[in-house]
Amino acid sequence: MIGQEIIQGTAPSIEEEASVSFISSILSNSAPADLTEVEIDPSGLPAPEPVMKWVGGKGKLVSTLTSLAPREYGAYFEPFLGGGAFFFSLRPSISSIGDLNADLINLYSEIRRDPYAVRIAADLLCSSHEGDSYYYRIREIWNSSRELLSPVVRAATMIYLNRACFNGLWRENKRGRMNSPVGRRPDGSTRPMCPPLASLASVSVALRGAAISCADFEAVVAPAKPGDLVYFDPPFIAKTKTSSFKSYGAGGFTDDDQARLAACARELASRGVRVMASNADVPLARELYAGFRIHEVSCSYSISASGSSRGNRDEIVACAGWS
């Protein structure tokens, strides 16, 4: 039963145990006694969509990215997965996806393994929501003790916080603490809607052919072969000094990382891997991706040939490795 499995690992402090027992009590109140894996019938499921609204999410750019992608490719690699908008739209049969955010990778692994169990726990957390103080209590448990939660409860808690937070937008500060304030629906209510089981089940099916890793981008794309497609959507190069913090959590993606990424993209393309790399349209990005085909993407998310002056462009997609 979810409530009994909630604490994992060894020797939590009394305070930590007391805090996670709040989540435990919510889940053990009404969770079914027997949570076994259910067989999913993929026919009739809706198209998969991102579970998490993520900073830098590519939801509005999916059709642009699709128009830029090669028509054919072998395996698909996306090492800065985030919310995975492009991945879920492509639904590649063989893929390798990754992100450095361990909570996000746990979420995808758990949804793939057992969307039913994740849904039940997330729904209980959402339906027990009583107002702002409930949200802030769970957010504090998340920030102080989430490593004590079992993987499925950790995944469900991430969904609850994402659905209940302001604008549904997950943000972490430099110390890796989730810091989004509580959100409000148009009717003034703060109780979040849990994603339906069918949505999580379709995400689970979409993840079936994927190798999922919590790793640096270089490790994820290392096995790519000629004819495979790699899409890089890293934290962007800052347009201004004040925008350098990207809200993806602890650490950061420095200019040295950007140079390491561009060198990796160049090496992949040189051996016939098809590469697409998004970034901010700033001089450093143009310098790092010199020699790639540069597509400018406007705020309205249409594209134009490099060098023309249509629209308000602020992103580029650099492509190489195929003609």
Ligand X SMILES: C[S@@+](CC[C@H](N)C(=O)[O-])C[C@H]1O[C@@H](n2cnc3c(N)ncnc32)[C@H](O)[C@@H]1O
Per CB under 6 A, residues contacting ligand X are 54, 56-58, 79-80, 82-85, 99-101, 216-217, 233-235, 248, 253
Q: What b/e string do you get for 226-238 counting C-beta neighbours within 10 Å, with b at 16 or more?
A: eebbbbbbbbbbb
Which residue lies nearest ligand X, judged by its C-beta? Answer: 82
Element (H, E) at 251: none
**Minimal distance in Å, beta carbon 172 to ligand X?**
9
CB atoms < 10 A from the CB of 190, how many?
17
CA–CA separation, 264 and 268 (whole Å): 6
Min separation Cβ 96 and ligand X, Å:
12
Residues 78 and 87: their CA atoms lie apart, in Å, by 7
Which residue, 135 or 217, has its beta carbon nearer to ligand X?
Answer: 217
Nearer Cβ to ligand X, position 135 or 248?
Answer: 248
Cα 10 to Cα 141: distance, rounded to the nearest angstrom: 17
Closest CB 58 distance from ligand X, rounded Å: 4
Note whether 233 and 54 are within 8 A (CB): no
For ligand X, the closer CB: 85 or 125: 85
For ligand X, give the closer residue by CB, 53 or 293.
Answer: 53
We find the least distance from the C-beta atom of residue 86 to ligand X, in angstroms, to be 6
Q: Is the sign of the CA dihedral 25, 27, 29, 33 positive or negative?
A: negative
Cβ-based nearer residue to ligand X, 196 or 252: 252
Instruction: Quote the least distance from Cβ 80 to ligand X, whole Å.
Output: 4
